[in-house]
Amino acid sequence: MASPRTITIVALSFALGLFFVFMGTIKLTPRLSKDAYSEMKRAYKSYAKALPGLKKIGISSVLLRKIIGSLEVGCGVVLTLVPGRPKDVANFLLLLVMLAVLFFHQLVGDPLKRYAHALVFGILLTCRLLIARQSEDRPEREDSREEQHINDQEKNKVKQS
């Protein structure tokens, strides 16, 4: 039987992965929703205008949108389908993307309702990463506690002799 920690990690990975594949696809193509795609184009134009430094290094609003959309799709696929350590890397990259998106929304002065989803999914990504890392650290701690207990017992035997 799988532990509750494992079930939580799998469920979060799958749900977050699907969400980011969906959102990344909306940023890349109008096939899913023309209205949402148009809104993304408009939003990224305002982000690019608010950050003139991007234009200086050759990053247009279209390129910025495609970079973030591609990262979301790629990392979403990894979170959904790929087992092991790559999920943690994808999780971390998506967390960085969410921080950048929150920064963009703050920069252009969007109200909370426009970026609440980024805040919520950033928190979920953080929780998933912490749970995944905690589950790896725990067996080492238990092993070191057992070793410490055995060492303490041996020291007590030596003192008694």
**pLDDT tens profile 26-64:** 999 999 999 999 999 999 999 988 888 888 898 899 999
Q: Does the pLDDT of residue 106 top 70, yes or no?
A: yes
Output the pLDDT for position 102. Answer: 93
The residues spanned by each domain of the chain are 4-159
CB-based contact 47:100 (threshold 8 Å): no
Q: Does the pLDDT of residue 138 top 80, yes or no?
A: no
SS (H, E, C) 85-133: HHHHHHHHHHHHHHHHHHHHHHHHCCCHHHHHHHHHHHHHHHHHHHHHH
Output the pLDDT for position 77. Answer: 97
What is the reported pTM? 0.79
